[in-house]
Amino acid sequence: METTTTTETKQKVYFDLTTSPHLHSKWSTKKVMWFVNLALAPTIAAALAFFGIYQALIMLTAIAFAVGTEAAIQSIRKKQVTWFDGSAALTGLLLALTLPPNFSLSATAIGSVVAIGLGKQIFGGLGYNIFNPALVGRAFLQAAFPVQITTWMKPNFAVDGITSATPLAALKFDKVFTETTPMILGNIGGSLGETSAIAVLLGGIFLIAVGIVNWRIPLSMILGMIIFGGIFWLINPQYPTPIFHILAGSFLFGAMFMATDWVTSPITNKGMWVFGLGISLVLVIIRIYGGLPEGVMYSILFMNGFVPLINKYTVPRTFGAVKENKK
């Protein structure tokens, strides 16, 4: 980086002129990634408590293959191997937490390879990927193993009436509403990381408090769900309430840990609001009119594709700039 200094000797004012980027942060990539891994601890603990110790093997498999794939590709490309920065481990862990309990270890490994290979390294590595890598891996597994990835198990500590079906599946296919308390605690059917709302919120609030997650994205998603989910519910009360939309499925997990990915989310404040509201709008439409009961993965990936446009059209006006009049 070249630095020149312009000195106005009369007024004793000094200006440092440097090349971009001009944004500075106390957070290094490595520090951020390991903090996010740490924030997932309550969700991991909840997954192990409700679905058993085997789930730890799924997480370790996903992490090992994600890290191994990253190191292998970087070595082949003769790039610096950066598996220790925590980003590959985080991708593997996030992927594992989107999988159903007792999921196949071999399929988990395939998903991790795809997540890192096609979701991240094919674009050039960390910082260049367009879509969330963990969700790319999850989308591949959804297409390749449709039965396995929609096979659920009844959780430990399940109360009477709780089945292995997820609350969204129970509502869509059996017209059965799940009570709010189990969805908050997590003793319901679902993916490893989505069932316990309170565990997800603990990790998410921690990331917001330390400044890693910008509160605008999760808040805009929640407000969007209240607005759009509320409109459909007011039109037809047989549709889920906004609270049900928020607590059921992986909405909160996506809002805290997936949509807030620094690389694949907007960088402008206004853009974050557009991004979060857009995710909720797409999600409500998928859940109500789609063939699948869930839709968080698709809605986030869909809005990931609009991030460059959102950034372009939500750039704050430069101080003192005058909008050009078009003739």
Residue 141: the pLDDT is 97
CB 63 within 8 A of CB 92: yes
Alpha carbons 264 and 301: distance in angstroms, whole number = 9
Alpha carbons 262 and 281: distance in angstroms, whole number = 21
Alpha carbons 283 and 281: distance in angstroms, whole number = 5
Tokens 């970087």, residue located: 74
Residue 16: the pLDDT is 66
* Alpha carbons within 13 A on the beta-carbon side of 179: 10
* Helix segments in 151-229, DSSP class H: 167-174, 180-185, 197-210, 216-224
User: Strand, helix or coil at 166?
Assistant: coil
Which residue numbers in the chain have pLDDT < 70? 1-24, 319-327
Residue 324: the pLDDT is 66
17: left (phi over 0), alpha (psi -120 to 50) or beta: beta
Residue 56: the pLDDT is 97
The model carries a pTM of 0.88
Residue 147: the pLDDT is 93
Alpha carbons 260 and 272: distance in angstroms, whole number = 9
